[in-house]
Structure 1
């Protein structure tokens, strides 16, 4: 019985710093949907909580916008609450709108692999479940080839064949609820953002300073 109290404290702490610990009832901001430029391309990545992933890609020079959403599953019209059950097949995914004249798809793939632990199965600490799994999506054969080339190199030279990242053709991307968009930027004092998102962003900035926008340095 003496172990119950510490366990409860530990569980509550995890919930406070969990990406899923934020209820849609707490905030319902209306966000204007991003309108891509004429020559803008889009890449899609999943590597844990999309609040973190969105902020990382938005710091990269050549990225015009990053939009949080859901992809990788077969459930129609997924919601944040449904995603949280881990039963939809979808993962928290970010659509990265970028200018190919300023940043290449290959560089974005390197950002993806370099900004999370691709060897973790179904999660990125402190978030675990299929909804947080690592996925590099492709739309064309060339994108698939680029992803697999980089994955193979990293597996051989860095991760000893332990990469768990899925390489999956994008079927459909569902934009997440408005209150998730630019979440880290709009909620810098939220517990998860302070404990997980910002430190993860700062680690990325330190690792890839040459890729950052001037205002993100």
Structure 2
């Protein structure tokens, strides 16, 4: 029982919004895994998809592990304010949510598969909260860029609901995509570069491992 209490205390003592830039830059990784790098010009050859499901450090790492995904960018979307900052979004001073921009090859993975990854890697019944992170900036959003993507999301939602996958109603927002604002550079690839960060160890890595356990068929070879 004592171990359980200590674990809960550790998780709730850390959160995506409590890490300052200075703290983040002090987090040192003993070995940063290699990652294929694409230029902005090369990225234009791929499709994009946008999702929000809690702290973007966690969400970025999850989609980075999926085959067919070429790049994932952490940022902000779903709100009205221009040029949002981490401090403003993280402390709920905007209408944005922490979100990710996913570049993917549709010849290797479909938009439907990405939607499945999205729903399968977080709790879509949790309103304005994921894990220890609370507030509308951590709400669940599936963005669509066109009517076909909207149809894919809505049909999958209907399937989840009709199959009674969850005990509670799904609260995910299905929202027309408008603008994505890239987060500050120190947030990019945060989990990969900072495996010893307290939040990463207590929240991000366990969340990633749960996803890997349930979606083995979607993983890149190096992610197994």
- TM-score in terms of structure 2 length: 0.86
Determine the structure 1 residue equivalent to 2:74: 68
Question: Any residues of structure 2 matched to 1:93-172 within 5 Å, and which?
Answer: 93-157=99-163, 158-159=165-166, 162-172=169-179
Question: Any residues of structure 2 matched to 1:34-45 within 5 Å, and which?
Answer: 35-45=41-51
Determine the structure 2 residue equivalent to 1:213: 220
Aligned length: 208
Distance of 1:108 and 1:32 partners within structure 2: 20
Determine the structure 1 residue equivalent to 2:187: 180
State the SS of the aligned residue for 1:97.
strand
Query: Residues 14 and 205 (structure 1 numbering): CA distance in 2 closer, same or farther, change over 3 Å?
Result: closer
Query: Residues 59 and 34 (structure 1 numbering): CA distance in 2 closer, same or farther, change over 3 Å?
Result: farther
The alpha-carbon deviation at position 141 of structure 1 amounts to 0.4
Distance of 2:39 and 2:186 partners within structure 1: 12
The alpha-carbon deviation at position 26 of structure 1 amounts to 3.2
State the SS of the aligned residue for 2:17.
helix
Encode CA deviations 1:112-153: one digit per residue, 9 max, x unaligned.
Answer: 000000000001011010000000000000000000000111
- TM-score in terms of structure 1 length: 0.89
Query: Residues 38 and 48 (structure 1 numbering): CA distance in 2 closer, same or farther, change over 3 Å?
Result: closer
Q: For the aligned residues, what is the CA RMSD? A: 2.4
Distance of 1:148 and 1:67 partners within structure 2: 24
Runs of at least 5 residues in structure 2 that lack an aligned partner in the other structure:
1-8, 27-36
Runs of at least 5 residues in structure 1 that lack an aligned partner in the other structure:
1-11
State the SS of the aligned residue for 1:21.
coil
8 A Cα contact 2:76 2:180, kept in partner: yes
